[in-house]
Amino acid sequence: MKCGVVLFPGSNCDHDVYHVLKHVLEQDVVYLWHEETTLKGCDFIVLPGGWSYGDYLRGGAMAALSPVMQSVREHAAKGGPVLGICNGFQVLTEARLLPGALRRNRGLKFECRDTYLRVERNDLDFTSCYRQGQVLRLPIAHGEGNYEHFPGELDRLEANRQIVFRYVAPSGEVDDAWNFNGSARAIAGIVNEAGNVLGLMPHPERCAEEVLGNMDGLGLFQGLVQPALRLVGAAR
Amino acid sequence: MTPPSPVSPKTAPPAAAEPVVTEQLAREHGLTGEEFARLLGFLGRNPTLTELGITSALWSEHCSYKSSKVYLREFPTSGPRVLQGPGENAGVVDIGHGWVAVFKMESHNHPSFIEPFQGAATGVGGILRDIFTMGARPIACMDSLSFGELDAPRMRSLIDGVVRGIGTYGNCMGIPTVGGETRFHAGYNQNILVNAFALGVARRERIFKAKASGPGNPILYAGSRTGRDGIHGASMASESFDAESQKKKPTVQVGDPFVEKILLEACLEAMRSTAIVAIQDMGAAGLTSSIFEMAARGQIGFVLDLDKVPLREPGLSAYEMMLSESQERMVLVVKRGREEEIARVYRKWGLEVATVGELRSGSRAEIRHRGKVAAEMPIAPLTDDAPVYERPVAMPADLARRQQAPEVPEVQNPTATLEALLATPELASKEWIWRQYDHTVRTNTVIGPGGDAAVLRLKGTPSGLAMTSDVNPVYCGLDPRRGGMQAVAEAVRNLACVGAEPVGVTDCLNFGNPENPEILWQFREAVRGISEACRAFEVPVISGNVSLYNETEGRSIPPTPTVAMVGVIDNLGEMPVAHFRKAGDRIVLLGKDRAEFGGSVYLRLLHGIEQGMPPAVDLAAEARLARLLRQAIAGSAVHTAHDLSEGGLALALAESCIGGFGGGNEGAAGLGARIEVDLTPLDLFSETQGRALVAVAPARLERLMRLAEENGVPALEVGEVGGTDLVIAADGATLSASVARLHEIWSTALPKALGF
Amino acid sequence: MRAKVTVYPRREILDPQGKAIRTALQRIGFAEVGEVRAGKSFEIDLGPVEPQAAAERVAAMCEQLLANTVVEEYAIEIVGEAPAGAKRSADEGKTS
Amino acid sequence: MRAKVTVYPRREILDPQGKAIRTALQRIGFAEVGEVRAGKSFEIDLGPVEPQAAAERVAAMCEQLLANTVVEEYAIEIVGEAPAGAKRSADEGKTS
Ligand SMILES: Nc1ncnc2c1ncn2[C@@H]1O[C@H](COP(=O)(O)OP(=O)(O)O)[C@@H](O)[C@H]1O
Ligand SMILES: [Mg+2]
């Protein structure tokens, strides 16, 4: 599968995602410069983390307006898979490809730490290598990851099963003490209604290799690029 | 550009509206009478204001090292792995597999005290530029922070600002901050220290230098525009003649990490071409130091046309442009005719680039502005032949008294004593700080903050890099030589605890006023201690930085020679951690206690006594311990390794129990230990050096003991990992506490004390 | 013309920063402080342009970039050329 | 009384945010945009108090907490009780 990693000035997790796709999963990967107007025939688009354009106004606000995002929009409209990680998630919300907004962490401080995520649904390609309800350990590193939306809209997300990952305690229970950025409904990651655009704040690419002591993030990429590995009998 | 016709120095006219330079004005610029005479001497005329500014910058302690040079020569700076020692933007060592590590540490103390957020941020920005200037991609930062007492004026906001500044800059750049140190001591109430370390990696053959060469080669300027940032002399000197300038306060340098990030990418991309002859970042004293130093290294002259320099606001004088410390700027020397090839790269990244001058044969600098010659000077007398002083030194008058062995109060209740120590900001968890630093970006972090040394894997190789930063200013204050040795020894120990072999040292020597003989004595002794230890461990000093005049109202900081050491792990096997991992593991204490309390945290934090000789440093024994640890870990026989430092055995055991608390791992509920030692309750807090704790599976115990014997390291099995309590049975009293409680005290103490 | 824009979190949305500042102000002795809203402000030079047209352009800037209308609301004020000199003291401030 | 406070970087000091926003606005077609300054704004409820006294209190808040006067300057406006209703459109905005 041909993968494209979008590169905005200020992206800084681009190499990390590229490394996992290229050297861990041995996929065909290219970088897509923010001024590109095509996706070079990529099937799978990743918006990596970082501080695109400095993120001076709001995370992702300026990147959402860059030329390449027009192509990403069209790709998504055609049902092509798009994954936004951290700043990439912010870009997707600012571009209105995903609902809601990511605001400053509850504690108003940057938080770098491991979090525990519960897989709320594994009937998406993205999560097809995880078990329903499986608890993953994924690191976060952000200052603006506090997911916000209006109560009514949050209810809609629940109803549409658009909430894919929630921050939980290691036991798997939702627990405010483990929701470090204060996200509404402990939301760590959501998907669009069509199910092909996923955004999450934690960093799967940072825990996809044995040497780093944690492989929990690898499945998220495998689900897309290695369909053979999808769990059989997953509730789909 | 076409070089303007040379003018003879005699006829160099002072730019309009500039004051005539007098000895008085020179003194306000920090030049002594002799230094001013020296300037007049080689100039053969009165300097222009710009020339005075340039001279004051290049002859400043910061640029010239005039008080410290003679002592720094004592450092061992060479070795089989060293590709570049001190003298370039950063040092370079070979780390195998065709890779080199490029690293350096630098201080940003004064700016951080004025404006903590920007001061610390631009400190990180500066050290990162030093690294990528060499052609290396930065992959890790560390920060060594020295703060005053929390209740000292402004201290809490200083701490908050510094930590946010370091975090914001590194996080935005996407470079993990993987380690550091934080201390609190009244000696820093009016002079905090912010020392930033950065490390980059590059292919062996892709290293760039800042040595200008090739007459006629153009000089390029790339990055942010020049503003009136950080020009202190400027406003001072201007007021006398410029009504406008009354308003111009010396302005704080503001960092733009986003620009630095694209500058980093643009530089690394430009460096793939063969058009770059030399490249240098603009740090302290901006254009002046960068261009003069490049020219001096290449023993070549240059002409600079300031009208070509991109400005942020109109109307900067030549003086201001030459001294501006605007951030995120680079100077390049490019092969003639290939400017565009390089410029195109910077423009692609959205950066400004301009040709601002060119190299010229000869040895003189000519700086033109608005059609006039603002400066025309020989380069060597300002750089290589700058003044060097051998100032008087004197052992502090009160030293003998302070070194007298103090009365050491007995420990009544070891549990209470341990809990009291864990509750001090000094020894409590620094998590509140390093949580604000992205320490996992770039996906190399195998061990991040919280252990003895940070460990990064080296992508594409089986190897890893380890790094640590250490110094104990209290020890240094009581005996700077021993303190210097101890800093190096602890660094070696911290690296050994992750199985790493030291390959190089960078240092940041923070001291008071060198014109005070007692301070300079401290400096000399500390440097000798570091040199002696580095020789013993065969670790070269490959870069460093000196920060003097850390003094307020005659009160100097404690001598603080920060030592940052980098090590290599040939094969990243199963890594040990500093905390207990498995119930049933056998705990072995390596090294022997000698009941040493001089400068200990027990005396200082619990009894207000800062007296006595600091613990002795047996370099040979330390070397044996380090070798043993490396051998044991290489055989991946070790689950836990943690060295003993401040607070001695009790603290080390507590840290090893607490470390695994929380999360989903086995230690989640707190993994305790049962210990039995033939020590008094007081001895549990002795800070004898050369010791470490190791925990291994029972089956591996015998091998460990045999290795210890072979290496001549005293080893004693002292207990077993397990349970939810830490229980230490000592002579006459037992220390006993639940890990949960210890963790609660240790992890909440700092945020509580800060009130955040 | 110049535009002064302020952007605030919409009232239905939590404003943790405003809450934090209120607490901090009260802790350092400003007990009278009630609700605090924390937002952003921008001053934008627009060159020569009619006030009405200017307001429309700036509204577009807000919709497209300056504000995230999902969670933020904005207010625009168009002012004349008078350069907004540094205002340091309360008194001067009031006159603005 | 309520206070409206705006805090901006001092003019001679680099304003990376303003610079970035200006570039972004121009890139998305607002070519007319000149200098942009980016700052913070606060709305503070003060309860019943004399305007003059209010202004002095708020100036103190700025000096102590809201602004970092080493790098920032602030301006204060004291307004009456009228609740600042949500302002979404440019026109309403202008009337504020
Ligand atoms: N300012 C800081 N930045 C990052 N990490 C820090 C900082 N201060 C302390 N730490 C981390 O806390 C741990 C304990 O620090 P320290 O007590 O100095 O270790 P040691 O005594 O082994 O040298 C270290 O692993 C260090 O990485
Ligand atoms: Mg240690």
pLDDT in tens, A22-32: 999 999 999 99
Chain B, 296-325: which have a CB under 8 Å from a chain D CB?
A: 312-313
Q: Which of B108, B439, B639, B642 is catalytic?
A: B108
Q: Decide: B208 and B271 in contact? Cβ < 8 Å.
A: yes
pLDDT in tens, B310-362: 999 888 999 999 999 999 999 999 999 999 999 999 999 999 999 999 999 99
Active site residue B62: yes
pLDDT in tens, A147-202: 999 999 999 999 999 999 999 999 999 999 999 999 999 999 999 999 999 999 99
Does C86 score more than 50 pLDDT? no
Are B258 and D20 within 8 A, CB to CB?
yes
Does B3 score more than 60 pLDDT? no
Residue D4 alpha carbon to ligand 1 centre in Å:
43
What pLDDT was estimated at residue C83? Answer: 46
Give the residue from A229, A195, A159 showing the smallest Cα distance to A83.
A195
Does B250 score more than 60 pLDDT? no
Active site residue A19: no
- Structure tokens of B680? 């008094």
Q: What's the pTM value of the predicted model, to 2 decimals?
A: 0.93
* C57 vs D contacts (CB less than 8 Å): 30, 32
**Lowest mean per-residue pLDDT among B350-359, B398-407, B520-529, C80-89:** C80-89
Q: Decide: B745 and B147 in contact? Cβ < 8 Å.
A: no
Does B638 score more than 60 pLDDT? yes
Mean pLDDT score, B475-503: 98
- Structure tokens of B485? 């040795």
Decide if D95 touches C, using CB distance below 8 A.
Answer: no
What pLDDT was estimated at residue D91? Answer: 35
Give the whole-angstrom CA distance, residue B731 versus residue B708. Answer: 26
Does C26 score more than 60 pLDDT? yes
B432 lines ligand 1 (CB under 6 A): no
Give the whole-angstrom CA distance, residue B497 versus residue B455. Answer: 11
What pLDDT was estimated at residue B232? Answer: 61
What pLDDT was estimated at residue A231? Answer: 85
Q: Decide: B66 and B59 in contact? Cβ < 8 Å.
A: yes
Does D12 score more than 70 pLDDT? yes
Residue C38 pLDDT grade (very low, low, confident, very high; cuts 50, 70, 90): very high
DSSP B188: G
Number of other CB atoms surrounding residue B388 within 10 Å: 12
pLDDT in tens, B51-85: 999 999 999 998 999 999 999 999 999 999 999 99
Active site residue A207: no
Cα C2 to Cα C46, D33, D35: the distances in Å are: 5, 10, 10
Does B663 score more than 90 pLDDT? no
Residue B229 pLDDT grade (very low, low, confident, very high; cuts 50, 70, 90): confident
Residue C81 pLDDT grade (very low, low, confident, very high; cuts 50, 70, 90): low
Residue B713 pLDDT grade (very low, low, confident, very high; cuts 50, 70, 90): very high
Give the whole-angstrom CA distance, residue A105 versus residue A144. Answer: 5
The subunits that touch chain C, with at least 3 C-beta pairs less than 8 Å apart, are A, D
pLDDT in tens, B87-123: 899 999 999 999 999 999 999 999 999 999 999 999 9
Q: How many helices (H) and strands (E) does chain C have?
A: 3, 3
Q: Decide: A65 and A8 in contact? Cβ < 8 Å.
A: no
Q: What are phi and psi of B460, to 5 degrees?
A: 80, 5
Mean pLDDT score, A117-144: 97
Backbone conformation region of residue B371, classed left if phi is above 0, alpha if psi is from -120 to 50, else beta: left
- A28-33/A2-7 β-pairing: parallel
Which residue of chain D is at minimal alpha-carbon distance from C78? D94
Give the mutation candidate from B441, B459, B575, B748 for the A interface (greatest A CB count, under 10 A): B441
Does B1 score more than 60 pLDDT? no
DSSP A214: B
Does A58 score more than 80 pLDDT? yes
Are B443 and A206 within 8 A, CB to CB?
yes
On the 0-12 / 13-18 / 19+ scale of CB atoms within 10 A, B315 is exposed
Give the whole-angstrom CA distance, residue B462 versus residue B478. Answer: 43
pLDDT in tens, A220-232: 999 999 999 998 5
What pLDDT was estimated at residue B283? Answer: 84
Give the whole-angstrom CA distance, residue B543 versus residue B566. Answer: 12
Give the mutation candidate from D27, D33, D65 for the A interface (greatest A CB count, under 10 A): D27
End-to-end CA distance of chain B: 56
Number of other CB atoms surrounding residue A148 within 10 Å: 24
Q: What is the largest CA-CA distance in chain A?
A: 45
Does D87 score more than 90 pLDDT? no
- Candidate from B169, B183, B430 with most ligand 1 atoms within 8 A of CB, to mutate: B430
- Candidate from B112, B197, B434 with most ligand 1 atoms within 8 A of CB, to mutate: B434
Q: Which amino acid is at A120?
A: E
- Structure tokens of A144? 């603006």
What pLDDT was estimated at residue B664? Answer: 67
Averaged confidence pLDDT in chain B: 93
Are B258 and A53 within 8 A, CB to CB?
yes
Residue B37 pLDDT grade (very low, low, confident, very high; cuts 50, 70, 90): very high
pLDDT in tens, B113-129: 999 999 999 999 999 99
In this structure, what is the dihedral angle of CA atoms A163, A169, A174, A180, given to the nearest 10 degrees? -70
Q: Which amino acid is at B357?
A: G
